[in-house]
Amino acid sequence: MLAFANAKINLGLNVIEKRSDGYHTLETVFYPVKIYDTIEITDADTTFCEIRGVAIPGDSKDNLCLQAYNLLKKDFGLPPQQITLFKNIPVGAGLGGGSADAAFLIKLVNDKFKLELSVNAMEDYARLLGADCAFFIGNKPVYATDRGDRFEPLDIDLSSWNMVLVKPPVHVSTADAFRGLKPASPAVNVRELMSLPPDQWKEVMKNDFEETIFRKYPEIAQLKADLYHAGATFALMSGSGSSVFAIFDHPVTLPGLEQTNRVFYDI
């Protein structure tokens, strides 16, 4: 069986405080986009994960898909499976690719073995794997709070806009990104900003990671500036970086940026 796991972007991201459990309280809007990994599970003699496509740092034995399968296997006595992950979503890009893969693996296993898990039950499993993992179970725009794993549905549709995402040849560690942050309460929360049209977001919607990441990687700041120079209505780094997305009110191609970056159109 196959599943196509999509990425997400963050429409605004405010890091409010560091918690006693080591996580951070934040608020953001998760918005699904059309950049996909492909996951396949097939019967096998032993359970293992094979990764193809974009290279992922670390050992495949530590992959979140395998961790997700083992969580379900522990509770439901599942048979051995080969998990094949065809990786296309950039890594270290703030797109939630690893979390998406794990969440879609949970949904795929639920379907294949007819576990009849509810959405809430699948979200509970996903929360054990990563702060944003549960988002990909419902996979619809949400206002996310707490660790980024408590959701309120949002009625927002950007399909009438032309959206582009650019991934520079830079890998940003989420842990490193958090180390440079100074948490603070925002003047206006992101949910309120969603009532504004995108052509009013530029001056009011922020990503708290940008200040620290742009200082360490000025090429990402330049990338955002280049997107505005190309006519973007709005541009922002996604998550803790390094990718930057842009919203245009017209179709666009960016051959100059394609020379040194991965550019995804019509996301």
- Annotated active-site positions, please? 8, 132
Residue 15 assigned to a binding site? no
Q: What is the Cα–Cα distance from 226 to 222, expressed in whole angstroms?
A: 6
Determine whether the annotation assigns residue 97 to a binding site: yes
Indicate the helix (H) or strand (E) that contains 177.
helix 174-179
98 is in an annotated binding site: yes
Element (H, E) at 220: helix 218-229
User: Which CA distances in Å does 156 have to 68, 139, 153, 193?
Assistant: 30, 13, 9, 11
Q: In whole angstroms, what is the distance from residue 28 CA to residue 109 CA? A: 29
Q: Was 180 annotated as part of a binding site?
A: no
DSSP-assigned letter for residue 205: -
* Residue 246 is assigned to a ligand binding site: no
- Is 251 known to sit in a ligand binding site? no
CA dist., res. 74 & res. 244, Å (int): 39
According to the annotation, is 93 in a ligand binding site? yes
Q: Is 94 annotated as a binding residue?
A: yes
H helix runs in 31-151, sequence order = 64-76, 97-112, 119-127, 135-138
Is residue 96 marked as binding?
yes
CA 186, CA 15: separation in Å to the nearest integer? 8
* Numbered residues of the known binding site for ATP: 90-100
